[in-house]
Structure 1
Amino acid sequence: MQAYQHYKAEDFLTDDLFIAWVYNRDAAAAAFWSDWMAQAHPNRAEALLAKDILEALNIPDAAVTEAALADETGQIIRRIRQPTHQKMPVLRRVWYVAAAVVLLLGVSWFVWRIPQKPLALMALLPTAQSGDGVVEQANRTSKPVRVTLPDGSTVRLQPNSRIQHVAGFGQQVRAVVLTGEAFFEVVPNPKVPFLVYARDVVTRVVGTSFTVKAYDENPQVTVAVRTGRVTVYSRKELEQHRNAAKPEVTGVVLTPNQQVVFNAKEEVFRKELVENPVFIAKDAASVSFDFDDVPLAEVFRRIEETYEIDIVYNEQLLQKCTLTASLTGLSLYEQLRLISKSLEGSYEVTDGKVLILATGCGE
């Protein structure tokens, strides 16, 4: 058990068991902390302060804006410099405490629970009830923040990014709305697909890991797959077919190390390989990339299986070609450049596949 008797307020604020108790998320946590608070611990006041702060950051009948928080923060600074004995209203005093913690701890990512579902979410998630609350999680720090969703899926939220989902997430639909950039690791659940709405595109998965990048200032939306398989749709086309008896919506299927870029102006998808392909195969670390007069077909097979990509080439023209070289430690694109050079040819990436452009084995 944690040495809670030595905790300060900031320690309680980051303790999962303590947070679960304050927000009534876990019966075991409630039993433990009710018993703990009933005892005469020397730092009980610190725990009470942390409890007040968490409750302030979760006020159910007020949606807090950044402007309001900034205003309260400014007032705290002024009050510190010019102390006063005037009493503050209870609600304002609560927010002073919350804003003070933001200043002292540098806490700049928040979880807001909004009573009513915003109109944007209403349009995106028609299966949810109109009275459902919304959970919004925003990262205002300079580093990525890890968020765990109710189904156990995790989101690595990048700076200046936020996600929203209904309070009943996972009951009928697993859907989030993303603004900014995030890396998702989704817990498999074939019965309840996972949807990411990001401006003009919708990404649908069952269980996989992938990155979605959709900043407001950038006209492009990018979806890149690390593991598994995802399908990316045009949100406009999905909405047009939503009420059809048998909707037929064409999506772009992505596999590991592939990505798609959607251009909002042209309304077209461009499928390609990710900028830095990574090893996907489980035994990739043991695969040798040192070749000594090895047939080119075997070289390509190892690369394809390691990165789970497709390499297209003229097997008849290159059937007698071999490679003697060490490709160990090189990136995929460096490996392809070296192979192409040995063939006195080139390569290009089209529709997420590698095309080898060579007519022979070179000199």
Structure 2
Amino acid sequence: MQYHSYKAEDFLTDDSFIAWVYNRDAAAAAFWSDWMAQAHPNRAEALLAKDILEALNVPETEVSEATLTHETGQILRRVSQSSERRKLPVLGRIWYAAALLILFLGAGWLVWRIPQKPPFLASLLPDARPKEGVVEQANRTDKPVQVTLPDGSTVRLQPNSRIQHVAGFGQKVRAVLLTGEAFFDVVPNPKVPFLVYARDVVTRVVGTSFTIRAYDELPQVTVAVRTGRVTVYSRKELEQQRNVEKPEVTGVVLTPNQQVVFNAKEEVFHKELVEKPVFVAKNAASVSFEFEDVPLAEVFRRIEETYEIDIVYNESLLQKCTLTASLTGLSLYEQLRLISKSLQGSYEVTDGKVLILATGCGE
């Protein structure tokens, strides 16, 4: 084959060239070593492609031709555009591409395609095509990285975290395998539910936002909901019910500001409120937390609607109680503590709900 007319993008998709760069074939190595030693007019294009391939190489992971084409396409286009605008010589294009690669790799943010599905992911996605690749995205920086999935959903990937999904994501299934921690903002699609597999749990949503924390070194997996509604299942129970004609899988339903902690050793879910509840209601910014002799029922109603949580209390015992206080700027727990103190009572959180323990309005 004649390579004298090849551009960098052509070399990047040539099997023989790739085999030489990654030292996979002795014959390719001999051919390209000899070819590079000659004064070909497009030798600089080959060097540029070689630099890009070496920069994109991921240890212990085979990089496919499709992935290389996808990941280097934007770099090459920007190199080409820069060349046209500035009339850069070939050497200038190489340095420009190198600068882009430093930015690309310096972010510690890598995307590649694994030619075959890992065994674990394959067992989760039995309907995926046998030869369908898996896209893996990893954050190797010390800051969160924003990832956009093919369906438009976004993932804020925390440091030392990664996600995997099949290349055909969103067509028949929207399933993601998470290692580490990430905040998901899922685009609604009732016809194609969104599933996140994180160690021992499976989180199922249609369209919502939530955080999952599932580092390998931690004994627990935590799922916390920001908006919408999610259901969390035990992966073990789901797999046991996979081939059952009428499966019965019990999941934990979570609503805003609720979270569940799953202990793999005990195989139990513990449902609670998140550590720092946030405003959820659309009009939350306009809700007043300044109270002047306001019935307690109204106080609780505002808090419930603002945080979209449930407050359980004895309505008959507290129906005549009122509150005069400023709760503006206080966290949810500070508000509850102040209200409980005014009642000479207390509060506790049970199964993701707030229980007010008081028998009257105090003195």
State if a TM-score over 0.5 links the two structures.
yes
Q: Over the residues paired in the alignment, what is the CA RMSD in angstroms?
A: 2.9
Aligned to 2:230: 230
Deviates more, 1:191-200 or 1:40-49: 40-49
Question: Residue type of the partner of 2:220?
Answer: Q
Structure 2: how far apart are the matches of 1:168 and 1:257?
Answer: 32
Q: Distance in 2 between matches of 1:120 and 1:110?
A: 21
Residue 251 of structure 1: CA displacement? 0.5
Counterpart-to-counterpart distance in 2, 1:138 and 1:114: 13
Is the partner of 1:23 in helix, strand or coil? Answer: helix
Aligned to 2:296: 296
Corresponding residue for residue 142 of structure 2:
142
Comparing 154-163 with 39-48, greater Cα deviation is found at 39-48
2:39 aligned with 1:23:
no
Structure 1 equivalent of residue 175 of structure 2: 175
2:72 & 2:142 partners in 1: Cα distance?
29
Query: Which blocks of at least 5 consecutive residues in structure 2 are unaligned?
Result: 1-54, 56-66
The code of the aligned residue for 1:23 comes to H
Measure how far apart 1:123 and its partner are: 1.4
Do the aligned residues in 2 keep the contact of 1:21 with 1:33 (CA within 8 Å)?
Answer: no
Task: Give the conservation status (yes or no) of the 8 Å contact 2:187–2:207.
Answer: yes
Partners in 2 of 1:180 and 1:35 — Cα distance? 37
Aligned residues: 298
The question of whether the paired residues in 2 share the 8 Å contact of 1:101 and 1:107 is answered with no
Q: TM-score, with normalisation over the residues of structure 1?
A: 0.76
Choose 1 or 2 for highest CA Rg: 2
Quote how far apart the aligned CAs of 1:333 are.
Answer: 0.1
1:309 corresponding residue in structure 2: 309
TM-aligned CA distance change 1:25 to 1:189, over 3 Å: farther
Q: Tell me the residue number matched to 2:8.
A: none
Q: Tell me, yes or no, if structure 1 residue 337 matches structure 2 residue 340.
A: no
Look up the match of 1:161. Answer: 161
Amino acid at match of 2:223: V
| Whole-Å separation in 1 of the counterparts to 2:95 and 2:112 | 17
Task: Report the identity percentage.
Answer: 77
Residue aligning to 1:133: 133
Q: Tell me which stretches of 4 or more aligned residues in structure 1 moved more than 6 Å.
A: 32-35
Report the equivalent of 2:63. Answer: none
CA distance in 2, matches of 1:221, 1:176: 16
- The question of whether the paired residues in 2 share the 8 Å contact of 1:165 and 1:177 is answered with yes
- 1:43 to 2:92 alignment: no
| 1:76-119 residue CA offsets vs partner (Å, 9 max, x unmatched) | xxxxxxxxxxxxxxxxxxxxx79x94599623120011111111
Q: Are the structure 2 counterparts of residues 136 and 334 from structure 1 closer, same or farther at C-alpha, using a change threshold of 3 Å?
A: same
275 and 33 in structure 1: CA distance in 2 versus 1, 3 angstrom threshold: closer
Most deviating of 353-362 and 107-116: 107-116
2:226 and 2:307 mapped to 1: Cα distance?
A: 10
